[in-house]
Amino acid sequence: MLLMSGGAVQALQLLAALSLLILLHEFGHYFFARLFKTRVEKFYLFFDFLFPFPGLLNFSLFKKKKGDTEYGLGWFPLGGYVKIAGMVDESMDKEAMKQPPQPWEYRSKKAWQRLFIMLGGIIMNVLVAIGIYALIFGIWGEEYLPTQNAKYGVMVDSLGESIGLKNGDKILAVDGKTVDRFNKIVPELIFNEAKVLNIERNGVGMDISIPQGTIRKIIKAQRSTFLQPRTPLVVAQVSEKSAASDMGLQSKDSVIAVNGAPIAFYDEFEKIKRASAGMPIALTVVRNGQTVVLNGKVPDTKILGFAPETAATFFTLDKVTYNPITAIGKGFTFTFDQIGNYWRQLKMIFTSSEIKASESVGGIVSFGKMFPAEFDWQSFLMLTAFVSIILAVMNLLPVPGLDGGYVIFLLFEMITGKQVNEKIMERATTVGLILLLALMVYANGLDIFRLFSK
């Protein structure tokens, strides 16, 4: 059996997701063009030129002509396109635009028809996200931890401690707003740039003021340990050839003391372990109703090599199941919730004093890291749906060269009754494509810098 590294698995998932979504996005344009009897000259996955320079390195890896359309696979693996007759697009075919308009060309169609042709890719991306989410909810349902069921409170890392939180605190609200699901606490804090966490500590209600810069630190850290449900320590799995296996730790062992000091929760174990690098350690565990003491040594890496049981083992989770009809409804509402969340993330880059573009923008490597290192259908589908939403939102931005740029020109025409001059559109598209190239270089450059600065 061929084994692949985690990075290779992530890269393959990204390639599969992007290829599928690009094809479907371009099919959205193709569908509406055909619907309104507009000729489509090319339908390509990836570019058959050096984007955004249509005159450079023009060749395809595969192509086949069927009817009026050439279908192909380009060599430049970022994006894709359909070349619609009579339209200023990525191909920048200016010679064709000098000819008189033909009935089967884009420029001969009514403004509302051209608007649907341009919105076709975005519409398709949204429909794909709805369909994937509906499939996920129909198969797996929805399972979550109600905030009130986190009966032991929270455990926090050094970042959580720096804002005044303590292990065992119970989150009551964020800026006075009750958050019903535990996994929504951090997004609520980030997206609304919350100022106060309302908590209960040792039975007493109190407010924690969130210092300026906290949201930036959370996003920059990119870690899930900032705020987690506090749990007892029960071993789920032990890695082979690890310090934990050498000392005899086994799955289902419940750790109740470390070096003779009683503990009740995982964070208490972590605190002692972090202070014991390179030192002997004794774990008192309950195994099959019997108390056993295991002796070993904490490696310099401070990693013993075992995974603890998750919150699902200790708390009552709410489970929601969906039939095919309700799954479609949930897919619809969830998609538009995600669109709203992503739009807020995008807006924060430009409006929030907490966010720096250099820390939040990423390229192809950042996209790849979104996917898990081990393939899982549910995770893959969830992320594919989310990437479809990203493509929809990004393409709707009013930048010439993107669908949103063409939409702006069309809305201007529909409101004023005057078409934008083709020379202006050509120049605007050229500028837009150069801006997109600059953004691609910047985003991927940041990824490279991050890789080498670690």
* pLDDT tens-digit readout, 136-167: 999 999 999 999 999 999 999 888 899 999 99
Q: Are residues 55 and 23 in the same domain?
A: yes
In a domain, 206, yes or no: yes
Q: Are residues 114 and 162 in the same domain?
A: no
Over residues 45-49, the mean pLDDT reads 89
Torsion, Cα 324 328 333 339, to 10 degrees, reads: 130
pLDDT digit string, tens, across residues 435-451: 877 777 766 676 676 66
Q: Are residues 290 and 199 in the same domain?
A: no
DSSP assignment letter at 146: B
Lowest mean pLDDT segment, chosen from 278-282, 356-360, 438-442: 356-360
Which of residues 223 and 154 earns the better pLDDT score?
A: 154
Of 266, 281, 309, the one marking the end of a domain is 309
Over residues 55-71, the mean pLDDT reads 90
Coil vs helix vs strand at 257 = strand
What pLDDT is stored for residue 401 in this prediction?
Answer: 77
With bands split at pLDDT 50, 70 and 90, how would you rate the model's confidence at 1? very low
Neighbours of 14 (CB within 10 A): 20
Side chain identity at residue 310, one-letter code = T
Classify burial at 135, counting beta carbons within 10 Å of its beta carbon; exposed 0-12, middle 13-18, buried 19 or more: middle
Q: Smallest Cα–Cα separation from 312: which of 169, 181, 145?
A: 145
Quote the strand ranges of 306-366, DSSP E. Answer: 306-308, 318-320
What pLDDT is stored for residue 126 in this prediction?
Answer: 97
Over residues 237-256, the mean pLDDT reads 93
Of 294, 309, 324, the one marking the end of a domain is 309
With bands split at pLDDT 50, 70 and 90, how would you rate the model's confidence at 191? confident
In a domain, 396, yes or no: yes
Over residues 267-286, the mean pLDDT reads 93
Coil vs helix vs strand at 297 = strand
Q: Are residues 241 and 203 in the same domain?
A: no
Classify burial at 416, counting beta carbons within 10 Å of its beta carbon; exposed 0-12, middle 13-18, buried 19 or more: exposed
Of 210, 227, 244, the one marking the end of a domain is 227
With bands split at pLDDT 50, 70 and 90, how would you rate the model's confidence at 233? very high
Question: What totals of helices (H) and strands (E) does the chain contain, helices first?
Answer: 14, 17
In a domain, 372, yes or no: no
What pLDDT is stored for residue 450 in this prediction?
Answer: 65
In a domain, 337, yes or no: no
Place of tokens 């020109």: 409
Helical pair 111-140 and 324-351, crossing angle rounded to 10 deg: 120
Q: Supply 108's token pair.
A: 């001969």
Q: Are residues 186 and 208 in the same domain?
A: yes
Q: Are residues 13 and 105 in the same domain?
A: yes
Label the pairing between strands 69-74 and 40-47: parallel
Q: Are residues 117 and 160 in the same domain?
A: no
pLDDT digit string, tens, across residues 90-138: 555 556 666 777 888 988 899 999 999 999 999 999 999 999 999 999 9
Please give the tally of structural domains in the chain: 3
In a domain, 276, yes or no: yes
Which of residues 55 and 98 earns the better pLDDT score?
A: 55
Range of the domain at 267: 235-309
Q: For position 303, which CATH number holds?
A: 2.30.42.60
What pLDDT is stored for residue 2 in this prediction?
Answer: 46
On the question of pLDDT at 76 being above 90, the answer is no
What pLDDT is stored for residue 273 in this prediction?
Answer: 92
Q: Are residues 97 and 219 in the same domain?
A: no
pLDDT digit string, tens, across residues 10-33: 889 988 999 999 999 999 999 999
Q: For position 176, which CATH number holds?
A: 2.30.42.10
Over residues 243-253, the mean pLDDT reads 94
In a domain, 242, yes or no: yes
With bands split at pLDDT 50, 70 and 90, how would you rate the model's confidence at 296? very high
On the question of pLDDT at 53 being above 50, the answer is yes
Q: Are residues 38 and 152 in the same domain?
A: no
Q: Are residues 295 and 402 in the same domain?
A: no
Phi and psi at residue 141, to the nearest 5°: 70, -155
Our measurement of the distance from residue 402's CA atom to the centroid of its chain's CA atoms, rounded to an integer in Å, reads 21
On the question of pLDDT at 256 being above 70, the answer is yes
In a domain, 376, yes or no: no
Which CA distances in Å does 257 have to 113, 234, 241, 326, 442? 71, 12, 23, 48, 51
Q: How far apart are CA 166 and CA 229, in angstroms?
A: 12
Q: Are residues 15 and 105 in the same domain?
A: yes
In a domain, 284, yes or no: yes
What pLDDT is stored for residue 27 in this prediction?
Answer: 96
Neighbours of 8 (CB within 10 A): 11
Q: What is the radius of gyration, based on Cα positions, of the chain?
A: 27
DSSP symbols for 290-349: EEEEEEEE--TT----EEE--GGGTSPPEEE---HHHHHHHHHHHHHHHHHHHHHHHHHH
Over residues 186-195, the mean pLDDT reads 88
What pLDDT is stored for residue 307 in this prediction?
Answer: 92
Q: How far apart are CA 258 and CA 293, in angstroms?
A: 9
What pLDDT is stored for residue 360 in this prediction?
Answer: 65
Answer for the pair 232, 151: CB distance below 8 angstroms, yes or no. Answer: no
Place of tokens 């609520």: 188
What pLDDT is stored for residue 5 in this prediction?
Answer: 63
Q: Are residues 108 and 212 in the same domain?
A: no
